[in-house]
Structure 1
Amino acid sequence: MALETDQLGKRYGDTWALRDCSLHLPEGRIAALVGPNGAGKTTLLHMAVGLLRPDAGAASVFGRSPYDDTAVLADIGFVAQDTPLYPDFTAAELITMGGKLNKVWDDALARTRLAQLGIPPDKPVGKLSGGQRAQVALALALAKRPRLLLLDEPVASLDPLARREFLQALMGSVADSGTTVLLSSHLLADLERVCDYLIVLNSAQVQLVGPVDDLVAEHCRLVGPRHDGEPIAGVAAIVRASHTDRQSTLLVRTDGPITDPAWTVHEVTLEDLILTYLAEGETQGSHEAWGVTA
């Protein structure tokens, strides 16, 4: 596993930023980490790179603790949400500095990538556009030749063209190196194009995790007569339900074929799936915050 957590938790005072977080990310995947603001995405990523110590549970990268075994950090590339770079340094100076700070460093990769993107090497990065700064940060992270690349909403503030260029650069590099990627974002259309693994995080807890194709295949939407809670053959769980006087619409997780002719089966999209689990997580979180039993 590239990244694995077991009942991972981080608390600030009486508030859990992340709680009972258990997930696994196999090597070679390009994974989407999805959740609303405040869901715990940044907290999870910061514990994965050893910037925060867990208050509960454990996180491991390639079987090693990033907080206690700092040698594993050489295998991790990280681009933080605000793409922090020394604003007075040029891209060329940052590449030179990276070579002095990292045992493994591909100077040519970073310089070639930025040249292909037309980013001036001698201009202070503080004077570059947001998209250009994001590309510099990505080039620096990739120059480490990391086995695991963590990206914390790197395209959130970029315009559509800059987002597309960033993701194209990312996909090209990953295809060449086989790097495992965990990309945090709330831009679902972008994630649907590039990711093959999904982690949905909401209300400080994991709501859904697994390969995208498998998750989409094992969910569907059922439309049929008003459902009052009786079991439906082939349905493992009802994720969300809406009702009228005579009809119910259910988004369900299946464990077999739906054979009851009373139900019409509709496929769901990845966006349908993500939004449903996010909505369900919000409902559960609100009940817990107010001490209400759902």
Structure 2
Amino acid sequence: MTAVLHTERLTKRYGHRPALTDVDLDIPPGRVVGLVGPNGAGKSTLLGLAGGLITPTSGTITVLGNRPAANAAHLARVGFVAQNTPVYPGLSVRDHLRLGARLNRSWDQRLAERRIAQVGLDPGQKAGRLSGGQHAQLALTIAVAKRPELLILDEPVAALDPLARNQFLRNLMEFIGELEVTVVLSSHLISDLEQVCDHLVLLSASRVQLAGEVDALLAEHHRLRAARGDLDDLPAEVEVITAEHRAGESTVVVRRAGTAPIPGGAHRIESVGLEELILAYLTRAADASVAYQPTTRPMEAQR
């Protein structure tokens, strides 16, 4: 099975600052991928590389078996909605559909018109007078009316109110079912990812911290609770992701290697949810970053 998105040691730097470092990924076709991480983790950089908007410093990336934005035909196979859901303020909704039809050979006018009517957009309305939610719906419609094989969404609902965000996600799921498209969705909102995503890529400190099928990842991770000190000597095949110690009790999130069983003992074994799993890895990455931060001596001590 050919990966829709494949990277090997993909690295992007802006000056001396790393945005992505040695990223290895394989995204199979037909997945809805949640791309998550803190600000500055490299999410937009990864999506920009996938869309051919920027070029890597080193390493390789292929999209649909070719380099990103290899030619016009390749561009037509990828739909991209940027974070600010850009549209042309002076053009009407109808003008946007006409422009989409002119620029894309695979344009599906019936799909575009049906979706515009479904979300209640006035074809004669200037885009500059649309609300944020309407902007997002117009941008999504243009992207999917290309009938792409890969749909890239960079924080498309970040500025939307809960009702507009919910409608956007419902429409997205309808598109996914209708077009059988692979989707990469970047979002800070884990509740949104839980609704739509079956694959996860977690970035922090410019590196991939976790990647894989959501169900498999959840099955590999557990929460252990025990009296303080009782979890200090877990076997090597059980990896501790994070540990929290309170008065008399310790709570750890662990990952078991392969099919290794969680050892028995005087502790409780509990399942973890997607939000807890993501926060555990982000906490570990943040703690590691602080631990390895070089210290700077005061100027007086350097003299």
Which letter maps to 1:286?
V
Which letter maps to 1:35?
G
Following superposition of structure 1 onto structure 2, how do residues 200-211 of structure 1 map, counting pairs within 5 Å?
Answer: 200-211=202-213
User: Aligned residue for 2:150?
Assistant: 148
SS at match of 2:88: coil
**Contact 2:242–2:253, Cα closer than 8 Å, also in 1:** yes
User: Aligned residue for 2:270?
Assistant: 266
Following superposition of structure 1 onto structure 2, how do residues 46-57 of structure 1 map, counting pairs within 5 Å?
Answer: 46-57=48-59
1:280 to 284, 287, 290: 284
Q: TM-score, normalised by structure 1?
A: 0.94
Find the aligned partners of 1:287 and 1:51 in 2 and give their Cα distance: 34
1:63 to 45, 62, 65: 65
Find the aligned partners of 1:199 and 1:122 in 2 and give their Cα distance: 40
CA displacement 1:96-132 (0-9 Å, x = unmatched): 0111111211111111101111101111111000000
Mean Cα deviation higher: 3-12 or 140-149: 3-12
User: Aligned residue for 2:159?
Assistant: 157
* Count, aligned residues: 291
Find the aligned partners of 2:287 and 2:129 in 1 and give their Cα distance: 43
Q: TM-score, normalised by structure 2?
A: 0.91
Find the aligned partners of 2:292 and 2:4 in 1 and give their Cα distance: 32
Find the aligned partners of 1:238 and 1:291 in 2 and give their Cα distance: 27
1:166 to 159, 165, 168: 168
CA displacement 1:17-68 (0-9 Å, x = unmatched): 1111111111001110001111110000000011111001111112211155
2:192 to 175, 190, 200: 190
Shift of 1:69: 5.4
**Contact 2:230–2:266, Cα closer than 8 Å, also in 1:** no
Which letter maps to 1:264?
R
Q: 1:48–1:288: structure 2 CA closer, same or farther, 3 Å change rule?
A: farther
User: Aligned residue for 2:134?
Assistant: 132
Shift of 1:280: 1.3
CA displacement 1:169-220 (0-9 Å, x = unmatched): 0000111111000000001111111111111111111110001111011000
Listed as ranges, the gaps of 5+ residues in structure 1 are none
Find the aligned partners of 1:71 and 1:230 in 2 and give their Cα distance: 57
Which letter maps to 1:25?
I
User: Aligned residue for 1:224?
Assistant: 226
Find the aligned partners of 1:210 and 1:267 in 2 and give their Cα distance: 18
SS at match of 1:96: helix
User: Aligned residue for 1:102?
Assistant: 104
Which letter maps to 1:31?
V
Q: 1:70–1:55: structure 2 CA closer, same or farther, 3 Å change rule?
A: farther
User: Aligned residue for 1:39?
Assistant: 41
Following superposition of structure 1 onto structure 2, how do residues 7-46 of structure 1 map, counting pairs within 5 Å?
Answer: 7-46=9-48
Listed as ranges, the gaps of 5+ residues in structure 2 are 297-303
**Contact 1:74–1:146, Cα closer than 8 Å, also in 2:** yes
